[in-house]
Amino acid sequence: MATSYKPSVLFRKALDRSLAVTACALAACATPPPEPASAPATAPASKPAPPPRPKAEIGAWGVDVSGIDKAVAAGDDFERYANGGWLDRFTIPADLSTYGVFVQLGLDAEGDVRTILQDLSQEEHEAGSIEQKVGDAFAAWMNTEAIEARGLAPLKPHLDKIAKLRGRTAIADAFATLHNTSPYGMGIIPNPADTTQYIVFAAQDGLGLPDRDYYLKDEPRFEQYRAAYLKYIETMLGLAGIKRPKSKAKRIMSLETKLAKAHWTQAESRDIKKIYNPMSPAALAKLAPEFNWPAALKKMGLDAVKTIVVAQPTAIQASGKIVRKTRLGTLRDYLTFHFIRNHATVLPKAFDDGHFDFYRKTLRGIEVQRERWKRGVNLINDGMGEAVGKIYIKRHFPPAAKQQMDELVANLIAAFRERLQQNDWMDEQTRQQALTKLSTFEPRIGYPDKWIDYEPLTVSDDAFANARAIREFQWQDQVKRLAGPVDRKLWPYPPQTVNASYNPLLNQITFPAGILQPPFFDPKADPAVNYGAIGAVIGHEIGHGFDDQGRRFDEMGKIRDWWTEASDEAFNQRTEMLGAQYASYEPIEGMNINPKLTMGENIGDLGGVQMAHAAYRRYLSSCCNGEAPVINGVTGDQRFFLGWAQVWRAKYREDEARQRLTTDPHSPPRYRIIGVVRNVDAWYDAFGVTAENKLFLPPGERVRIW
Ligand SMILES: [Zn+2]
């Protein structure tokens, strides 16, 4: 669940997104749909016994009771209490680096999308139709014989071109080429100064390892990653028939290490105040003349642009200087290696295997490569996701689900409004601004009203060519919108995605069909569970509008400081307390949670659960005089917190966990559970938690922000 003001760099987006399920905190698709409910989740339940209700998809009331470990006191370790049974029994499949509810739903959706693709392949389709494009792209990806038969032929013209680059201008031109890697990346977002218009941004880029820390951290495991990366560079160059791969690998590594030193940290790069640096193309050309910006912008189709937001100016500037001091031969080798890397998964098996060995096995701890069709499904989801999504929602998203979600979202917003009105640390002026901002929130549920037009995309029976065509299409699709007003109807991902997000520039919260399933949302589950699960997710996304970065945007999505000094200080006091709590958690020996990197998500989680609990209380007072039925001896509040804890049950391989601690703005799932509940008074009451328990915090140390 990401805040998306820091958009992914679209230009030169890495090709291998086919493992999105394991690559992102949250990803791909969905399970078969819950049947439309016979009674809405918000229907009144009579007292004292609950009415007979249709069976929830998980357990009797929406929670996997067999996953609970009652041997542990809830107040000592709420993750173990809620999920201990599952944690003990479950083993991560060999082809995955992590497993949890997100992955599980993603795998279900993968299967659903596969069925759609298979159905499409059995029908005749008009050439140029979207069905033909999707079907052919999948078939080309699956045709490994053809990929093997083409061998190095697809690579050759491109590598020859790089080998012939002469002079600094030619190198700068290559850096501005979509399929190459370069020290900067480009993207297009709504302009934070006027969110009705788009603006171009430039950001640091150009590393083959996940983050600067991987080059610089003085720890044994990171040293091993570096050694393996060196070997990987050598392998890729060798496979492509490049001479002296070993010495070239060393020089490429040395260049990237210099770039890494110039890069900003992940925490700095999510600070909107620091990364919002608008400048003219002339100023950018002065900042880093080595990249020959006038020609580069022209090449990228951005020559009419008047302003560019430069996310990390010092990094771009330093990268230019590093490039200037690097020998042309090394720069050609760097471009050559990354070109191969960017296309490795659509080249013969040896490349694909080498890529897997390093990026999946070494960096994430995954044991075996995923089945090819699964990777193909993810390729389609990433490249032409909405084309499949249109069919997916017809099959898997009943209209009744949309209606119930509308109600849940409305209740969450109402609960938050009430909490803002009662908030005791904000002054009146700031409160009014916050209420104004809340009133402009736009929820989007299920699927987009307007779909991406894939007309300009050409697909053939050549997987290599298709990968490039998709990347070009995605970039051109952005560039063509640049001149016009911001299209508020676009979605950041297809509806089969298991995720949710907030975009502070547009003040939109988005919940795709993929996440609107058990255990997040089940129309037949007990309302307490729905409020604790999807309700807290909705609250989390609303909370992003008011987290440490989101609060810097106003109701129009503009960056504007609408906070009085006193409210600003009161907010910071609270977030510092919360940050100190998270900084004390050590998920891997020697690696604590980075409180600055995870601050926004932690605020989202805490606010989300508190907001959802208030919304659940509102619901109870509207239906049942404020009292929840007890089901199988479990109270309403207990079910609420179990709902939250069970959507975050997850396991990680250690390398994966290390990578996420370095780069992921979300805290590890265990801390999304225990780090939150110990700050919520209602949790103490629900489980009888006292000062004797390990997770106990004295009331004065519990953080309440929203
Ligand atoms: Zn989030």
Measure 492 CA to ligand 1 centroid, in angstroms.
14
Measure 75 CA to ligand 1 centroid, in angstroms.
26
Rounded to whole angstroms, how far apart are CA atoms 209 and 519?
Answer: 35
Same domain membership, residue 437 and residue 302 = no
Rounded to whole angstroms, how far apart are CA atoms 427 and 274?
Answer: 27
Same domain membership, residue 602 and residue 453 = yes
For the chain, count helices (H), then strands (E).
30, 10
Measure 399 CA to ligand 1 centroid, in angstroms.
26
Measure 62 CA to ligand 1 centroid, in angstroms.
23
SS3 522: coil
Measure 611 CA to ligand 1 centroid, in angstroms.
15
In this structure, how many other beta carbons lie within 10 angstroms of the beta carbon of residue 452? 20
Domain boundary at 346, 362, 389, which? 346
Q: Beta strand pairing status for 184-191 and 278-279?
A: unpaired
Measure 595 CA to ligand 1 centroid, in angstroms.
14
On whether residue 137 sits in a domain, the answer given is no
Rounded to whole angstroms, how far apart are CA atoms 45 and 624?
Answer: 6
Residue tagged 């569970």 (tokens): 529
Domain boundary at 325, 346, 367, which? 346
Burial (0-12, 13-18, 19+ Cβ within 10 Å), 626: exposed
Measure 41 CA to ligand 1 centroid, in angstroms.
25
Measure 601 CA to ligand 1 centroid, in angstroms.
5
Measure 631 CA to ligand 1 centroid, in angstroms.
31
DSSP-assigned letters across all residues of 317-341: HHHHHHHHHS-HHHHHHHHHHHHHH
On whether residue 86 sits in a domain, the answer given is no
Measure 677 CA to ligand 1 centroid, in angstroms.
17
| Range of the structural domain that residue 572 is part of | 2-41+106-111+376-701
Please give the share of the chain, as a percent, with pLDDT higher than 70.
92
Same domain membership, residue 303 and residue 219 = yes
Give the pLDDT band of residue 14 (cuts 50, 70, 90): very low
Measure 517 CA to ligand 1 centroid, in angstroms.
18
Measure 605 CA to ligand 1 centroid, in angstroms.
7
On whether residue 50 sits in a domain, the answer given is no
Q: Beta strand pairing status for 501-503 and 508-512?
A: antiparallel
**Cα radius of gyration rounded to whole Å, the chain:** 25
For position 281, what pLDDT does the model report? Answer: 97
Give the pLDDT band of residue 623 (cuts 50, 70, 90): confident
Give the pLDDT band of residue 202 (cuts 50, 70, 90): very high
Structure tokens, 323? 């490039």
Same domain membership, residue 581 and residue 447 = yes
Measure 494 CA to ligand 1 centroid, in angstroms.
18
Measure 547 CA to ligand 1 centroid, in angstroms.
10
Measure 538 CA to ligand 1 centroid, in angstroms.
10
SS3 96: coil
Measure 2 CA to ligand 1 centroid, in angstroms.
4
700 phi and psi angles, rounded to 5 deg: -65, -20
SS3 488: coil
Measure 7 CA to ligand 1 centroid, in angstroms.
14
For position 54, what pLDDT does the model report? Answer: 72
Measure 543 CA to ligand 1 centroid, in angstroms.
8
Measure 141 CA to ligand 1 centroid, in angstroms.
33
Same domain membership, residue 601 and residue 556 = yes
Which stretch of 120-124, 343-347, 536-540 has the lowest confidence by average pLDDT? 120-124
Same domain membership, residue 445 and residue 333 = no
- Alpha helix positions (H), 523-564: 527-530, 536-544
On whether residue 61 sits in a domain, the answer given is no
- Alpha helix positions (H), 32-154: 78-89, 101-121, 130-142, 144-150
CB 661 within 8 A of CB 222: no
Measure 340 CA to ligand 1 centroid, in angstroms.
34
Measure 534 CA to ligand 1 centroid, in angstroms.
13
| Residue 92 DSSP one-character state | -
Measure 106 CA to ligand 1 centroid, in angstroms.
18
Measure 575 CA to ligand 1 centroid, in angstroms.
16
Which CATH number goes with the domain that contains 618?
3.40.390.10
Measure 8 CA to ligand 1 centroid, in angstroms.
15
Same domain membership, residue 554 and residue 432 = yes
| Residue 344 DSSP one-character state | G
For position 624, what pLDDT does the model report? Answer: 87
Measure 300 CA to ligand 1 centroid, in angstroms.
31
CA angle 655, 502, 660 (to 5 degrees): 5
On whether residue 293 sits in a domain, the answer given is yes
Give the pLDDT band of residue 123 (cuts 50, 70, 90): confident
For position 599, what pLDDT does the model report? Answer: 96
Measure 3 CA to ligand 1 centroid, in angstroms.
6
Structure tokens, 582? 């998270």
Rounded to whole angstroms, how far apart are CA atoms 697 and 595?
Answer: 19
Rounded to whole angstroms, how far apart are CA atoms 310 and 186?
Answer: 9
Burial (0-12, 13-18, 19+ Cβ within 10 Å), 316: buried
Measure 596 CA to ligand 1 centroid, in angstroms.
14
Measure 541 CA to ligand 1 centroid, in angstroms.
6
Measure 664 CA to ligand 1 centroid, in angstroms.
11
Provide CB contacts within 8 A for 42, sequence distance 6+. 404, 407, 408, 411, 527, 619, 622, 623
Measure 503 CA to ligand 1 centroid, in angstroms.
10
Give the pLDDT band of residue 490 (cuts 50, 70, 90): very high
Rounded to whole angstroms, how far apart are CA atoms 597 and 270?
Answer: 7
Q: Which of 234, 230, 235, 180 is nearest to 206 (CA)?
A: 180
On whether residue 459 sits in a domain, the answer given is yes
In this structure, how many other beta carbons lie within 10 angstroms of the beta carbon of residue 125? 15
Measure 604 CA to ligand 1 centroid, in angstroms.
6
Measure 169 CA to ligand 1 centroid, in angstroms.
42
Same domain membership, residue 463 and residue 421 = yes
Measure 581 CA to ligand 1 centroid, in angstroms.
18
Q: How far, rounded to the nearest angstrom, does the alpha carbon of residue 173 sit from its chain's CA centroid? A: 31
Structure tokens, 130? 């979207």
Measure 463 CA to ligand 1 centroid, in angstroms.
34
For position 634, what pLDDT does the model report? Answer: 96
Task: Say whether pLDDT at 36 is over 90.
Answer: no
Rounded to whole angstroms, how far apart are CA atoms 441 and 23?
Answer: 29
Q: How far, rounded to the nearest angstrom, does the alpha carbon of residue 335 sit from its chain's CA centroid? A: 28
Measure 666 CA to ligand 1 centroid, in angstroms.
7
CB 471 within 8 A of CB 535: no
Measure 1 CA to ligand 1 centroid, in angstroms.
4
Residue tagged 């050549």 (tokens): 462
Which CATH number goes with the domain that contains 165?
1.10.1380.10
Q: Which of 705, 364, 305 is nearest to 544 (CA)?
A: 705
Measure 514 CA to ligand 1 centroid, in angstroms.
16
Measure 668 CA to ligand 1 centroid, in angstroms.
12
Measure 600 CA to ligand 1 centroid, in angstroms.
7
Measure 9 CA to ligand 1 centroid, in angstroms.
19
Domain boundary at 301, 329, 346, which? 346
For position 52, what pLDDT does the model report? Answer: 53
* Mean of pLDDT values over 474-483: 93
Give the pLDDT band of residue 4 (cuts 50, 70, 90): very low
Rounded to whole angstroms, how far apart are CA atoms 79 and 652?
Answer: 14
| Residue 13 DSSP one-character state | -
Same domain membership, residue 619 and residue 529 = yes
Same domain membership, residue 166 and residue 279 = yes
Give tens-digit pLDDT for 522-571: 988 999 999 999 999 999 999 999 999 999 999 999 999 999 999 999 99
| Residue 50 DSSP one-character state | P
Same domain membership, residue 467 and residue 338 = no
On whether residue 68 sits in a domain, the answer given is no
Measure 198 CA to ligand 1 centroid, in angstroms.
23
Measure 99 CA to ligand 1 centroid, in angstroms.
19
519 upstream amide cis, omega within 30 of 0? yes
Task: Say whether pLDDT at 488 is over 60.
Answer: yes
Q: Which of 530, 16, 465, 45 is nearest to 236 (CA)?
A: 16
Same domain membership, residue 330 and residue 181 = yes
Measure 360 CA to ligand 1 centroid, in angstroms.
25
For position 553, what pLDDT does the model report? Answer: 95
Measure 665 CA to ligand 1 centroid, in angstroms.
8
Measure 542 CA to ligand 1 centroid, in angstroms.
9
Q: How many domains does the chain have?
A: 2
CB 500 within 8 A of CB 39: no
* Mean of pLDDT values over 575-604: 97
Task: Say whether pLDDT at 11 is over 80.
Answer: no
On whether residue 127 sits in a domain, the answer given is no
48 upstream amide cis, omega within 30 of 0? yes
Give tens-digit pLDDT for 445-456: 999 999 999 999
Give tens-digit pLDDT for 205-262: 999 999 999 999 999 999 999 999 999 999 999 999 999 999 999 999 999 999 999 9
CB 89 within 8 A of CB 73: no
Measure 544 CA to ligand 1 centroid, in angstroms.
7
Task: Say whether pLDDT at 389 is over 90.
Answer: yes
Rounded to whole angstroms, how far apart are CA atoms 178 and 274?
Answer: 27
Give tens-digit pLDDT for 141-177: 999 999 999 999 999 999 999 999 999 999 999 999 9
Rounded to whole angstroms, how far apart are CA atoms 421 and 582?
Answer: 28
Measure 597 CA to ligand 1 centroid, in angstroms.
12
Give 482's Cβ-side CA count (13 Å radius).
Answer: 21
Give tens-digit pLDDT for 366-382: 999 999 999 999 999 99
Rounded to two decimals, the pTM is 0.87
Measure 572 CA to ligand 1 centroid, in angstroms.
19
